[in-house]
Amino acid sequence: MTEVLLKELTNSDIDWMIAIGHQREIAAGTVLIQEGKTINSLHILLDGMLTVTAAEPDNNPLTRAFAAIEGIETPNREIARLSSGEVVGEVPFVSTRLTATTVKAVEKSLVLSIPQQELAAKLQQDVGFASRFYRAIAIILSDRIQSIINQLGRSHIAPGQPLKDVLFVLGKLHDSDIDWIMACGTQHKIAANTVLIHEQKPVDALYILISGIMSLSVSDDERNPLARAFAAIENSEVANREIAKLSKGEIIGETLFIDGRLPATTIKAIENSIVLSISRQQVAAKLQQDIGFASRFYQVIATLLSHRFQGMLSRLGYSRRVYSQGQTLNENMEYEDELDASVLDRMALAGKRFEWMQERLRVS
């Protein structure tokens, strides 16, 4: 992970970050990022060690009440330790939600802090930089998701519901991007129980889920190479555990285009579904030739991965409260799946674009 920024960014990108950012030493125990609070800077760890933790809320309301009265902090669980070269504070650039984790210095550390406003302006003005930045963030988030799966054990990850705000990502694309996707894409009907992507097997296309629901799962026998070997010899399927559901608007097979790795998950249709597929060669060529498309594409991928990562933490029992049907809404409580009013216009635009895509496909 420490090599991601150096590998993806150019020397001029790094020079800009050094010029606009400021270095500072932080003492052991200093909280750099607080769960549920606004983030004002992107931080690059130059030296030292940071710990990333997520709250483990007590399900006993009486315990929570006494903890609040006595000023006792909610217990946190460490989910990662970060060394030099790591990046934290990317959430404002890839998600509409507040951060679900707390980042604290384990020892005296040196960080380069880049103000959020200046970085946001740079991403708007320099599409080449934006393309490289969002690709790097996508790689980092992909690694974090895999780390959570490996560290906490696949059996502990409960399946989740389809993302409610997945269509938000379509609001980040231009109409010309949608036109290109429609012109190059091929519509496929995927029958229920059909595997679209196999874990650790090559992927030849990028897919957009137009209708239906798919399951994203990981092998339960990941930690047992012998069981996997015998399953392969006998041509039998390895038992999989669902960790997420994918709904319309999801992009599938994206790992091929962020770092070329084989997929770490299996994706299967839960019900009869329709996907739009674009060949690997076409997407790769477009990313090379159209830097504006590349910047928007990688931002969309980073956004989806961020939502999946934060959703995974929620299903593990971490982070802020999620509203459930039947609960009384508390106007002073910000729920984990609550959308900010400022993004509703973009959501509406994204929904119209998706309906237009579906209509185009029905006509063709």
Q: Same topology for domains 4-125 and 159-320+333-363, yes or no? A: yes
**What is the C-alpha to C-alpha distance for residues 223 and 246, in angstroms, rounded to an integer?**
25
**46-63 residue pLDDT tens:** 999 999 988 765 544 554
pLDDT for residue 134: 95
pLDDT for residue 46: 92
pLDDT for residue 318: 52
- Distance set, CA 13 to CA 47, 110, 127, 133 (Å): 20, 20, 12, 9
**175-211 residue pLDDT tens:** 899 889 989 999 999 999 999 999 889 999 999 998 8
- Distance set, CA 34 to CA 39, 51, 109, 320 (Å): 8, 12, 17, 12
**What is the C-alpha to C-alpha distance for residues 205 and 279, in angstroms, rounded to an integer?**
4
The ranges assigned to domains in the chain are 4-125, 159-320+333-363
pLDDT for residue 73: 55
**What is the C-alpha to C-alpha distance for residues 269 and 248, in angstroms, rounded to an integer?**
12
In CATH, the number for domain 4-125 is: 2.60.120.10
pLDDT for residue 346: 57
Instruction: For the chain, list residues with pLDDT below 50.
Output: 1, 59-60, 63-64, 66, 72, 154-165, 222-223, 226-227, 230, 319-343
Does domain 159-320+333-363 sit in CATH 3.80.30.20?
Answer: no
pLDDT for residue 98: 78
